[in-house]
Chains A and B, each alone.
Chain A
Amino acid sequence: MSCDNELLISSLIDRQIAAEERENVLAHLESCAACSESYESMQSMRLALRRIAEPRMPVGLPGKLRQSAAYERVRNLSRASIRARRMDWLSRLQLAFENMMRPHALPFAGGFLSAALAFGLLVPNLSFAHRYISGGPATQIFNMPDGVVVGASGEPPRIEPADAQTSDYQTVVVLTVDSSGRVTDYQVTRGQLTDDLKELIMFSNFTPATFFGLPTTAKVRVYCNKIIPGMRS
Chain B
Amino acid sequence: MATSILDLSSGRAAEVNADLEDLRLIELLRECNEGAYEELLTRFQQQVYTLAVRLLNDPSEAADVVQEVFLKVFRNIGSFRGQSSLKTWIYRITVNEAHNARRWFFRHRRREVELDTNPEESRNWKEIIPDRSRSPFEMALDGEQHSMIEAALDRINPIFREAVVLRDITDLSYEEIAEILGVSLGTVKSRILRGREALREELAGSLKNGLALRLVPKTAE
Contact = CB atoms under 8 A, between A and B. Distances in A.
Determine if chain A interacts with chain B. Answer: yes
Interface of A: 6-7, 10-11, 14, 16, 41-42, 45-46, 48-55, 57-58, 61-62, 64-66, 68-70, 72-73, 76-77, 80
B119 interface: no
Contacts, number: 96
A221 to B, nearest CB: 83
A11 B67 contact: no
Contacts of A10: 189, 192-193, 196
Given A6-B197, A54-B50, A72 B145 contact: no
Interface string B41-66: 10001100110011000011011001
Nearest to A38: B200
B174 A57 contact: no
A66 B38 contact: yes
Nearest to A9: B193
Contacts of B67: 61, 64-65, 68
A49 B164 contact: yes
A73 B53 CA distance: 27
Contacts of A77: 32
Interface stretch (B69-77, B128-136, B212-220): B69-77
Interface string B158-169: 000000100111
Q: Give the dominant DSSP class at B's interface.
A: helix
B70 A69 contact: yes
Interface of B: 32, 34, 37-38, 40-41, 45-46, 49-50, 53-54, 59-60, 62-63, 66-67, 70-71, 74-75, 78, 143, 145-146, 149-150, 164, 167-169, 171, 174, 189-190, 192-193, 196-197, 199-200, 203
A58 B59 contact: yes
A73 B32 contact: yes
A69 B168 contact: no
Given A52-B169, A72-B75, 11 more contacts: A7-B190, A14-B174, A41-B200, A49-B149, A49-B168, A49-B169, A50-B171, A55-B59, A69-B37, A69-B40, A76-B75
Contact of A72 (B60, B74, B189): B74
Contacts of B38: 66, 69
B127 to A, nearest CB: 15
B91 to A, nearest CB: 16
A42 B32 contact: no
Q: Give the dominant DSSP class at A's interface.
A: helix
B83 to A, nearest CB: 22
Contacts of B196: 10, 42, 45-46
Given A61-B49, A61-B66, A69-B38, A16 B189 contact: yes
Contacts of A69: 37-38, 40-41, 70, 74
Contact of A58 (B60, B149, B190): B60
Contacts of A65: 41, 45, 66-67, 70
A7 B74 CA distance: 39
25 contacts: A6-B193, A10-B189, A14-B174, A48-B145, A49-B149, A49-B164, A50-B169, A52-B150, A53-B146, A54-B46, A54-B50, A55-B53, A55-B54, A57-B63, A62-B45, A65-B41, A65-B45, A68-B67, A68-B70, A69-B38, A69-B41, A70-B37, A72-B37, A72-B74, A76-B75
